[in-house]
Amino acid sequence: QKEVEQDPGPLSVPEGAIVSLNCTYSNSAFQYFMWYRQYSRKGPELLMYTYSSGNKEDGRFTAQVDKSSKYISLFIRDSQPSDSATYLCAMKKEGAQKLVFGQGTRLTINP
Amino acid sequence: DAGVTQSPTHLIKTRGQHVTLRCSPISGHKSVSWYQQVLGQGPQFIFQYYEKEERGRGNFPDRFSARQFPNYSSELNVNALLLGDSALYLCASSLGGIRDRALNEQFFGPGTRLTVL
C-alpha cells in the first residue's frame, strides 16, 4: 500500500464549476501538507501549504486537512480553463525535507 | 529573481551510459533536493543536500549519486543507465537548516527530461 493515495482521474468539469481533489494517507507522522500544480512537461508549482489540521484559503483555492481521518482536500472555485493541469498532493514529517507525493490527478476544465 | 534552474532541458542516452544533471537553487537557498518523476506518477525523492552534506536519501540504487558545491548548486549523477531510468528529474530548493522544522517551502525547477534508449 502506498503512503499517499490519490485518484489519478482524469477529471473533466465545465468552466465555473467547483472542483474537489482529494488524497488519503496512512502515515500519522505527516504534519505538513501541500498541493502542487503541474502543467504538462513543467515542474510542479506550489499552490497551498498547510500545517496540521484545518482550512486555508487563498483566492479561489481552499485546502482542508483532516488528520483524524488522514484525508486532505483541495477545492477550486469558479474553475477556469487555465486551471487545467495535474494536481499533486504532497506531505512531509516534522523535521524532514523529503516530500511524499500522491500519483497526481489530471484535471481538465472545459470552456 | 530567478527561480530554480536546471540543465540540460532534455537528454537522450543509451543503456549503460552515464549522465550528469545540474541544478542551481534560488538565491539564498542552501538546500537542494532531487526527485525522479516517471510518466503518470508523482515525484519520488532521491536525495537532499544541505550545506554540501547529504541529509537524506530515498530508495534508489547506488548508481545514483549527487553532490552540492560551495555555491549551493548541485549535480545528480546516474551510472550504468537502464531503460527504467527514463523520467523527468526535478530539483527543488529551499532555505533549509532549522527551517526544516517549520513551514519550509520547496520550489521546483522545470526538470530535465532523460530518455534512455
How many Cβ atoms from other residues are within 10 Å of residue A71's Cβ?
13
**Percentage of chain B exceeding pLDDT 90:** 80
Contact state of B55 with A97 under an 8 Å Cβ cutoff:
yes
For residue B83, pLDDT beyond 80: yes
Interface size between A and B, measured as CB pairs under 8 A: 67
CA distances from B58 to A82, B27, B117 (A): 34, 26, 25
Contact state of A97 with B56 under an 8 Å Cβ cutoff:
yes
Chain B nearest-CA distance from A104, in A, is 6
Tens digits of residue pLDDT in B18-66: 999 999 999 989 999 999 999 999 999 999 999 899 999 999 999 999 9
Q: For residue A10, give the C-alpha cell.
A: 482524469
Sign of CA dihedral B32, B33, B38, B41: negative
Partner-chain residue, chosen from A42, A43, A101, that has the shortest CB–CB distance to B42: A101
User: If interface means Cβ-Cβ distance under 8 Å, which residues of chain B face chain A?
Assistant: 4, 31, 33, 35, 40-45, 48, 50, 55-56, 58, 88, 90, 92, 94, 96, 100-101, 103-111, 113
When the pLDDT of each residue in chain A is averaged and rounded to a whole number, the result is 94
Contact state of B43 with A94 under an 8 Å Cβ cutoff:
no
Chain B residues inside the 8 Å CB shell of A7: none
Tens digits of residue pLDDT in A41-82: 899 999 999 888 889 999 999 999 999 999 999 999 999 999
Chain A residues inside the 8 Å CB shell of B100: 95-97
CA distances from A46 to A10, A24, B92 (A): 21, 19, 11
pLDDT of residue A95: 79
Going by DSSP bridges, is the β-strand pair B5-7/A61-66 parallel, antiparallel, or unpaired? unpaired
pLDDT of residue A51: 85
